[in-house]
Amino acid sequence: MVHPFRTLFGGCERLAHDLGHGLMARGHAVRVFTSDVGVVPASGPFEARPLAAGPTEVAGLAVERLPYLAALVRRRAWARGPIPGRSYLRRWFRAQARRTFTRAAIQAVRRWGPDALISMRAWDLPALAAADVRDALGVPLVYSPQMHADTPGWRPAAVRALVARADALAANSAHERDRLTAGYGARPERVVVTGCGAHPAPAPGPWPRPAGVLYFGRKTAQKGVPLLLEAMARVWDARPDARLVLAGARDPVEAPRLAADRARLPAHLAARIEDLDDVGEARRQELMAGAACLCLPSEHESFGIVLLEAWAHATPVVALDLPLMRELVGDGEAGLLARPGDPAHLAGRILRLLDDPALARRLGAAGAARLAARHRPAQVAARYEEAVEVARAAAHARRGRGAPAGVG
């Protein structure tokens, strides 16, 4: 796999982790090729420190970090002082560093000789490099774009170009499959709906539960945290006993804005918020099992693995009424859906679950059943195997037309 395997785990990193272990359990050798980029500070990548390049192990997976940030920093030092404000120079630095990374990726893949590549994350550096490796060596490529379409900075042209270069596509949902075929030129026979997975808990969390609302994810406006804070102010009017847990990585750029949003709350309401940044796996599972509901108020998601993690503990979910969430959750099926941009409606949905424990328990059980039926990691790994076979067939046809023979 070629993947942006960072030191902080988000949904995409968890997918890569579970997929890697799932493929190994099915008898495959797996190696993750990624960059030396770890956590980039708010001041930007030119001030970040690269991670050590070379082979390592992350969460039980063999990971090989290839130089990108180190090359960027070297060129930054070569500039001898502050980088001029002209954007073309910054773009040139990044282009040169990308070439360094791509050369290293081609060498690493040639040395290891995989049968196929699985590439994730839209137009990020590893996705671009994977396409370059595919073109240079002929290795079949499965591209999983993890689409956050319509978010700021989304680049349809870049994704469309990568779709055209891939041998097969792994879509997180039927909604994503339809978007890839209708808007990005994907051939329907090359798209496999692979989905995402999570491991069911040994036993669901006990009921009844305290009136706790859990948010788990990056703390950004894109993820809907300001909307959730507005909604909770209304929830507390009706349920002053309710508590909100905001768990997940703090974004250095957006942290001041979200701190200001929270500061506008009256002190007695702000005191009902527990703000957690670094949450270990045991604590993560404890929070999922003890919440009365999990709220995912994001308007832009490629999937939302956190929903599955809540269902693993039979915890009901509240999300926004978007096409993806209608497919995954369904209003009144495995959770409740709220109108986007409407804090009053979101508050009403949260209150329904807090005020009706029987409904909350029923929806949580339905989510657990949906997880078991569709979203176990082993099922996801099997569907990725199907995508690999599609890619290999396409690559075989490509070789017949005189393309590179590949190394697998």
Domain count, the chain: 2
94 within domain boundaries: yes
pLDDT average, residue stretch 385-405: 82
Shared domain check, 253 and 282: yes
Q: What is the DSSP letter of 293?
A: E
Q: Could you tell me the two tokens for 164? A: 């055209």
> Quick one: which of 161, 160, 103 has its CA closest to 137?
103
Shared domain check, 312 and 280: yes
Distance CA 163, CA 187 (A): 9
Give the pLDDT score at 70: 83
Q: Say which residues have a Cβ less than 8 Å from residue 86's Cβ, sequence separation at least 6.
A: none
- Using alpha carbons only, what angle is made at residue 152 by residues 148 and 158, rounded to the nearest 5 degrees? 65
**CATH code at position 227:** 3.40.50.2000
Shared domain check, 168 and 142: yes
Q: First and final CA of the chain: distance in angstroms?
A: 14
Q: How large is the greatest C-alpha to C-alpha distance in the chain, in angstroms?
A: 70
User: What is the chain's length?
Assistant: 408
Shared domain check, 60 and 192: yes
Shared domain check, 291 and 177: no
320 within domain boundaries: yes
Shared domain check, 391 and 272: no
Query: Letter for the amino acid at 126?
Result: P
Shared domain check, 226 and 185: no
Q: What are phi and psi of 86, to 5 degrees?
A: -65, 125
Bridge partners of residue 192, in order along the sequence: 170
Give the pLDDT score at 340: 96
Distance CA 391, CA 116 (A): 8
Distance CA 346, CA 225 (A): 12
206 within domain boundaries: no
State how beta strands 54-58 and 335-338 pair: unpaired
Distance, C-alpha 135 to centroid of its chain: 26
Shared domain check, 316 and 227: yes
Shared domain check, 251 and 393: no
Give the pLDDT score at 75: 61
Average pLDDT, the chain: 87
Give the pLDDT score at 306: 94
406 within domain boundaries: no
Residues 261-282: tens digit of each pLDDT: 888 889 999 999 999 987 888 8
pTM score, two decimals? 0.87
The C-alpha torsion from 160 through 303 and 243 to 338, rounded to 10°, is 80
73 within domain boundaries: yes
- The answer to whether the CB of 373 falls within 8 A of the CB of 357 is no
Compute the half-sphere exposure of residue 404: CA atoms within 13 Å on the CB side of its CA: 13
Residues 137-187: tens digit of each pLDDT: 999 999 999 887 666 667 888 899 999 999 999 999 999 999 999 999 999
Query: Letter for the amino acid at 362?
Result: R
205 within domain boundaries: no
Compute the half-sphere exposure of residue 66: CA atoms within 13 Å on the CB side of its CA: 24
**How sure is the predictor about 42, in pLDDT bands with cuts at 50, 70 and 90?**
very low
Shared domain check, 339 and 244: yes
Shared domain check, 268 and 186: no
- The answer to whether the CB of 30 falls within 8 A of the CB of 20 is yes
Q: What are phi and psi of 330, to 5 degrees?
A: 75, 130
Residue 6 confidence (pLDDT) above 80: no
Shared domain check, 192 and 234: no
Distance CA 99, CA 4 (A): 17
**Burial of 183 from C-beta contacts in 10 A (0-12 / 13-18 / 19+):** middle
Give the domain range for residue 220.
212-374
> Quick one: which of 104, 136, 109, 130 has its CA closest to 405?
136
> Quick one: which of 112, 104, 117 has its CA closest to 69?
104
Distance CA 330, CA 322 (A): 10
112 within domain boundaries: yes
383 within domain boundaries: yes
Residue 292 confidence (pLDDT) above 60: yes
Q: Is 375 helix (H, G, I), strand (E, B) or coil?
A: coil
Residues 79-133: tens digit of each pLDDT: 444 545 556 666 777 788 889 999 999 999 999 999 999 998 766 788 889 999 9
